[in-house]
Amino acid sequence: MVRKLVDKDRRRLKRKVHVRKRISGTAERPRMTVFKSNRSLSIHIIDDTKGNTIASASTLEQELRSIKATVAGAGQLGEVMGKRLIEKNIKTVIFDRNGYLYHGLVKAMADGARKAGVQF
């Protein structure tokens, strides 16, 4: 069982590196990366030219603790992130799925950000 989990993580990291070779965020169009675990979700907006995190949203934040790691919760977190980006006058981002398949929670986070007005 442990070996299966290690192999699964290794495959995800391999996909992550393969995708990251091709995409990079700039100040005008930063990279929006997502992370999911069994308990929490997080989204980071990164400017790769400077190596800075511009904005982030996580279910570990005090005001967002009520959001659960479900598809509906991922949509809410995406909307919160979208609103934070609009406040910072960032309207377009590059979406980095971080090696995860684009369905379920990852798709819901992206759709939530789109709903708030962010373009990919």
Q: What tens-digit pLDDT sequence spans the chain (120 residues)?
A: 567 767 888 999 999 999 889 888 888 999 999 999 999 999 999 999 999 999 999 999 999 999 999 999 999 999 999 999 999 999 999 999 999 999 999 999 999 999 999 998
In sequence order, the β-bridge partners of residue 33 are 44, 96
Structural domain of 94: 2-116
Phi and psi angles of residue 69, each rounded to the nearest 5 degrees, phi first? -85, 60
Tally of structural domains, the chain: 1
Query: CA–CA distance from 26 to each of 3, 7, 22, 36, 47 (Å)?
Result: 38, 32, 13, 24, 5
How far apart are alpha carbons 19 and 28 in whole angstroms? 20
Closest CA to 34 of 114, 110, 116, 112: 110
Structure tokens at 54: 């511009």
Q: What is the CATH number of the domain that holds 7?
A: 3.30.420.100
What pLDDT sits at residue 73? 96
CB 26 within 8 A of CB 48: yes
CB 30 within 8 A of CB 118: no
